[in-house]
Structure 1
Amino acid sequence: MSGLLEVRILGAHDAAPAEAGGADRLELVTLDGEEALSPEPREMAAVRSRTTLPVRPVLRLREGFSTDGGEAVRLRGLISAYRDAGADGFVLGFVNGLGEVDVEVLGTLLEDTPGPWTFSRAVDSCLSTDDAWDVLRRLPGLDSVRTAGSARSLEHGLDDLVRRASADAAVAALVVADGDLHPDHVPWLARAGVRQFHVDDQVRPGGSRKAWADEALVGSWRRLIDTEVTHAR
C-alpha cells in the first residue's frame, strides 16, 4: 500500500491546488476560531465541482467532542445533505460523559451510512485510549482514525503512536497521523506501518489560514510520504 495524503481544506478554493499537488483525499471544514466545524452543504457542493478526489466533510457543531439529541438530529440532516452534495464519506468522533467512544451516538448517526468514514481526534481525548481502540476496531465502515497519540500533538504523542502501530498491524492500517505533523515524524511513522497522513496549515504559505492551499507545498508532502513509505516496505 502506498501512502495516503489527506489535506484539510477550508473551501472550494483549496480543492484544485490540493489535487494538483498530489492529495489523495480532502477533509472539508469551516473554522470558528480554532475549532474545525461542519461546513455548509453548499460549500460541499462547490468543492465537489472543483475536484474528483474523495471529500469527507466534518460532522461537528460545537467545541469539544460531546453532543446531544438535538444536535444528533441536525447532524443526521447534514449527513443527508452532504451525500446529496457529493460527499464520499465523513469525519466524526464523539466521547460520552465517561470519557469513552460514544457508540450510541455513532450508531444513531451512521445507521443508514455504511461508510467509509473517519473517526476524528476525539480518540485522543478518551480516558483509556486502549479501550477506545478496542471499540473502534469493531465499528462498521470505519477505515481511518485521526490521531496524534496524545491530546496535545504528535510532538508529545509520537513515541506512543509508533509503539501502538508497531504492535498491531490492524491499528497501523487505521491510523491517520495528525496533530501538527512534521516531516521528521514521517519516517518513524512509516516504519511503524502507518500509511495515512493528514496535513492542514503545513500546506499553506507561511502556515497562514488566510492563504490558500499551495500546490507546491502539497507536492512536497506527497514526495516525502511516497519516499518514506517505499523505504519502509
Structure 2
Amino acid sequence: MLEVIVTTVEDAIIAEAGGADRLELCISMEEGGITPSLGKIKNVISAVSIPVHVMLRPHSNSYHYTVEDFSVMLDDLRVIQLFGARGVVLGGLTKENFIDNILLQDLLPHCEGLNVTFHRAFDEVEDQIEALHQLKKYPQIKQVLTSGGPGTALDNLIQIEALLYETSHERMHILAASGIDPTNVAQLLEIGVTNIHVGSGVRFGKSFHQPINIEMIRKIKQLMESYLT
C-alpha cells in the first residue's frame, strides 16, 4: 500500500493519477502536519476516489494535548467523518513522552467507521516495542506511522525490522515513513515493508513548497509491485 501526503486538491488529483493507494491530508508540513481546514477536507475528498485519511492534530507545539485541545480534536473529528474521510491520523503522548492512553481511551470510541493510524508521535517514545504493545490494545488502530525513531526510515532499518516482527501476526501494520523516494524504497521492501508513506520525496526539489512529481509516484509503485510478483 502506497500512501502519499497531500496538502491541496491539486496534490490529491496528481497522487491518485500516479497510482497512490491512499492519501494523507494535512497542512503545515514544515511543522510536522496539522489538521486542514473544513473546506480543504471537503474538497479533497470530493476530488478523488481513493481513500483519504485526515490528520487530527490541533497544533504543532507538542504531542501532549490539554482538555481544551481534546475538545478541538473532537469537533474536527466530527467534520472529518461528516465529509466522508475513510480514515484519521492521530496520536498523543504524555509530558514524559509515553503513549497517552487516556487520550486514546477518550478519543478512539468517537472514531467509529474510520481507519485509524497512530502518527509519528510514535517516533518520540523511548521504547517503541513497549509503545507498540500498548497500541495493540486498541482494535481501532490499524497502522503505526513511523521512521523507526529519530531520523529517516533508511537510518533505522534494524528498528523497522523489529517493529515488523512484532506486528507480523497482528491486524496492525507498520507504515514506514520519512526520507523515502524512488532511489531508496527498495531497501525497505527488501526487509519486508509492504506499506510505504511518502511526502517530500515524491515532490520536485524534495520540497513541500513544490508540486508532486507524478513520475516519482509511478516509479515507487512499480518497484512495490515488482516485489510482490
Q: TM-score, normalised to structure 1's length?
A: 0.90
> Which residue in 2 is equivalent to 1:68?
66
Indicate if the aligned counterparts of 1:172 and 1:194 stay in contact, CA closer than 8 A: no
Indicate if the aligned counterparts of 1:30 and 1:38 stay in contact, CA closer than 8 A: yes
* One-letter amino acid matched to 2:142: D
> Which residue in 2 is equivalent to 1:80?
78
* Match among 18, 21, 26 for residue 23 of structure 2: 26
Matches within 5 A, 1:143-162: 143-162=142-161
Range that drifts further, 70-79 or 218-227:
218-227
1:57 aligns with 2:54: yes
Matches within 5 A, 1:87-106: 87-106=85-104
1:181 aligns with 2:169: no
Q: TM-score, normalised to structure 2's length?
A: 0.91
For 1:26, what is the secondary structure of its paired residue?
Answer: strand
1:79-113 alpha-carbon deviations (Å, 9 max, x no partner): 00111122111001111123211111112222121
Indicate if the aligned counterparts of 2:185 and 2:220 stay in contact, CA closer than 8 A: no
For the structure 1 residues 215 and 105, does the alpha-carbon distance in structure 2 shift closer, same or farther, using more than 3 Å as the test?
same
Distance in 1 separating the partners of 2:27 and 2:163 = 31
Q: CA deviation at 1:41?
A: 1.6
For the structure 1 residues 213 and 185, does the alpha-carbon distance in structure 2 shift closer, same or farther, using more than 3 Å as the test?
closer
Indicate if the aligned counterparts of 1:19 and 1:51 stay in contact, CA closer than 8 A: yes
1:186-221 alpha-carbon deviations (Å, 9 max, x no partner): 334334332110000112112122222232221111
For 2:28, what is the secondary structure of its paired residue?
Answer: strand
> Which residue in 2 is equivalent to 1:206?
205
Indicate if the aligned counterparts of 2:4 and 2:23 stay in contact, CA closer than 8 A: yes
> Which residue in 1 is equivalent to 2:135?
136
Query: Percentage identity across aligned positions?
Result: 26
Indicate if the aligned counterparts of 1:165 and 1:171 stay in contact, CA closer than 8 A: no
* One-letter amino acid matched to 2:212: A
RMSD, aligned CA: 1.9
Unmatched 5+ stretches in structure 1: none
* One-letter amino acid matched to 1:40: S
1:101-147 alpha-carbon deviations (Å, 9 max, x no partner): 11111122221213311000111111221210101112121111111
Which structure has more RCO (C-alpha within 8 Å, separation ≥ 6)?
Answer: 1
Distance in 2 separating the partners of 1:143 and 1:189 = 20
Range that drifts further, 4-13 or 221-230:
221-230
1:16-35 alpha-carbon deviations (Å, 9 max, x no partner): 11001000000001116433
Distance in 2 separating the partners of 1:14 and 1:167 = 34
